[in-house]
Amino acid sequence: MKFGVVVFPGSNCDHDAYYSIKHNIGCSVEFLWHKDASIPNDIECILLPGGFSYGDYLRCGAIARFSPIMKEVINFANKGKFIIGICNGFQILTEAKLLPGALVRNENLHFICKDVYLKVINKNTPFSNKIDKDVIKIPIAHGEGRYIADNETLNQLVENNQIVFKYSDELGNINNNINPNGSLLNIAGIINKNRNVLGMMPHPERYSEQLLGGNDGVSIFNSILNFL
């Protein structure tokens, strides 16, 4: 199976994602330039990496969403192929309307860079079926990760089991005190209705080998391998 990592001007987690997929998962992977007007046929999963695409000008992800490659990424999603958006990638996916809601300034206005615990809410997805633990530890690094959506959207996310990860404590308790950024319902990651697009603020590629401090992130990528 082959992954593609999109490189936007200002992406800064693209190489980490590439490394993680190539060396920690052992899959082939290639970079896709944001100006590319096509996606190679052999790619089965696209990763939109973290960073500050286009300097986060206007809104995070707002300009990247109109990069030439995004037209193809949207087609790719509509064909049912797999997409993971991490951090800035998640923001781009909401701007592109591939995922509902939006990500706004953290409640405390701080850029937060720390390890967080995530309760795995739904293990029955292409992105979470190989996660053994109920709670995983993954770092976040964002200033604008507060997930916002209207009540109707939130209800749909809950009803359709589209919430995959919620910020929790080490034991999996979910409450306001451990919510790092003020996200509604402690949402850290969601999938679309068709279950082929995942967006998450935490960075699994940063915890993909023990040397980095943890390897819980690997199970997310391995889930896709297992699913296909």
Partner 1 sequence: MSKYKANIEITLRKSILDVQGKTVEKALHSIGYENISEVRIGKFISLEIESDNQDFALEKVDNACKDLLANPIIEDYKISLEIINQ
Among 15, 105, 123, 137, binds partner 1 (CB under 8 A): 105
Is residue 59 a contact point for partner 1 (CB under 8 A)?
yes
Contact 118, 135 (CB under 8 A): yes
Contact 149, 100 (CB under 8 A): yes
Q: Which of residues 132-171 bind partner 1 (CB under 8 A)?
A: 148-150
- In the complex, minimum distance from the CB of residue 102 to partner 1, in angstroms, rounded to a whole number: 5
Residue 203 bears catalytic tag: yes
Q: Which is nearer to partner 1, 6 or 63 (CB)?
A: 63
- In the complex, minimum distance from the CB of residue 109 to partner 1, in angstroms, rounded to a whole number: 5
- Burial status of residue 30 (CB atoms within 10 A of its CB: 0-12, 13-18, 19 or more): middle
**What distance lies between CA 123 and its chain's CA centroid?**
15
Is residue 225 a contact point for partner 1 (CB under 8 A)?
no
- In the complex, minimum distance from the CB of residue 58 to partner 1, in angstroms, rounded to a whole number: 7
Residue 45 bears catalytic tag: no
Distances (CA, A) of 20 to 13, 45, 70, 98, 115: 11, 14, 23, 24, 18
Q: Which is nearer to partner 1, 151 or 177 (CB)?
A: 151
- In the complex, minimum distance from the CB of residue 114 to partner 1, in angstroms, rounded to a whole number: 19
Residues that bind partner 1 (CB under 8 A): 58-59, 62-63, 66, 94-95, 101-102, 104-109, 148-150, 182
